[in-house]
Amino acid sequence: MGEMDRTKVIFIDTCRNLVELGRLSQEEYDAICDLLDRLEDYDNEEFKAELSRISKGLSDLIG
């Protein structure tokens, strides 16, 4: 597993925990998973902008 794959797994686990805590909706979680699946389609700024669009709360955490 590459470094990027490990990072994705950690990120997804964090998002799942946020859903359980009520900080993210299931729809936001699903959209974030879809975004991560298409990660190579975005540069860093585009990814941050899309993540912010999906979930304001999560983007605040990773700011």
Q: How far is CA 34 from the centre of its chain?
A: 9
Residue 58 has pLDDT above 80, yes or no: no
The pTM for the full model equals 0.78
Domain locations in the chain as residue ranges: 3-62
* Tens digit of each residue's pLDDT (9 = 90 or more) over 4-56: 889 889 989 999 999 999 989 999 999 999 999 998 899 989 988 888 888 87
Tokens of 2: 């590459």
- Backbone phi, psi, residue 29, to 5°: -60, -45
Residue 59 has pLDDT above 60, yes or no: no
User: Residue 18, Cβ neighbours under 10 Å: how many?
Assistant: 19
